[in-house]
Chains A and B, each alone.
Chain A
């Protein structure tokens, strides 16, 4: 048995035509996205090749021109501060101080959204966004893939902001 990460397969399934994603929904909206490279998946496990897969997926679903990379990135990316148990350690003040660098990195991209594929990153960056007033929404990869496929229902949009709550809604009548 091998241990793999799903980003690699998202990219594979898009390349093979199994997931017919496109970025038309964002052609006029031009909403900008940046992406967090999770330390565990990129630097610590699969290296730059999976970071490339991740970018391929992001660009395929939001549009090449609507993706802005953080600096530094890929294997050289900064940890957000959500890893290693920090989220549950009780040292909240220090955790937010740690995350200042990540928040500044995200703000410098000017992106409207930050994509975080890892739950620890997602929780931490979400908190950084509120704490430091950037208020950029933080979304999972699966949300944007389904949005671009036109199969994202109204109740699957927890982490989308108002600008995307009504875009490309699948079965809008099921809204709760």
Chain B
């Protein structure tokens, strides 16, 4: 008679990957890996920190939570989703990464990303550079005035703030108004020539959301709601990303 089967371990532990599976649609397919390596072979982050997407997922599956949660690689994956695009099982590794970022104590997350998120929370512009609505309005009006005068073909060009019922609500990356305001003009000219009815918002004009990169769920939602809320309040039909 065969010997009794050996029983392994005690109670099954709950690993980090299980928690992430619970909050993702279809569990992010996180337990479907065929280990084919298509993700890693086309991932620009492969090799950084001795890591790659397949290895990272295997570590998660093996319950190597300590290594997983402390790996800086979570901040070197850009969550670009190319791994998902090429994966035969559509495994959502970027969402695993995002939730690992979110598990870091907020103050331990990279200072630059943290700083840009906090800047955006300073006022209602939602700008990662902390630019106030008043400063934005001043720069836009100043540049517009200058170009209307110096290029008379565009004397009727507009760059409105908080115009009601415009078709498009445009966002604006902070880089232009803050560091290179002349770069805003070509876009305004295009909109003018195309006869587009558009507006910026005094609130939520910032096009960036570093709080999302920081994986600060409460904060990124607040920024996104401010942006969309202003577009809605103005009665705009389309929120238009300009980049």
Contact = CB atoms under 8 A, between A and B. Distances in A.
Interface of A: 1-6, 9-10, 13, 18-19, 38-39, 41, 43-44, 75-79, 81-91, 94-95, 97-102, 117-119, 140, 142-143, 145-146, 149, 151-153, 155-156, 158, 170-171, 174
Nearest to B170: A6
Nearest to A44: B81
Contacts of B154: 151
B213 A84 contact: yes
A84 B211 CA distance: 10
B190 A89 contact: no
B29 interface: no
A174 B151 contact: yes
25 contacts: A1-B232, A4-B239, A9-B194, A19-B194, A79-B44, A81-B78, A84-B80, A85-B113, A85-B214, A88-B110, A88-B210, A89-B112, A90-B111, A91-B76, A97-B47, A98-B48, A100-B44, A119-B207, A140-B186, A151-B193, A153-B147, A153-B182, A156-B183, A156-B185, A170-B151
Given A81-B44, A98-B76, A101-B44, A88 B237 contact: no
Interface residues of B, number: 59
A49 to B, nearest CB: 15
B150 interface: yes
B82 interface: yes
Contact of B112 (A4, A88, A94, A174): A88
Contact of B153 (A86, A151, A152): A151
Contact of A119 (B147, B150, B237, B243): B243
A119 B173 contact: yes
Contact of B239 (A1, A38, A86): A1
A121 to B, nearest CB: 9
B186 A146 contact: yes
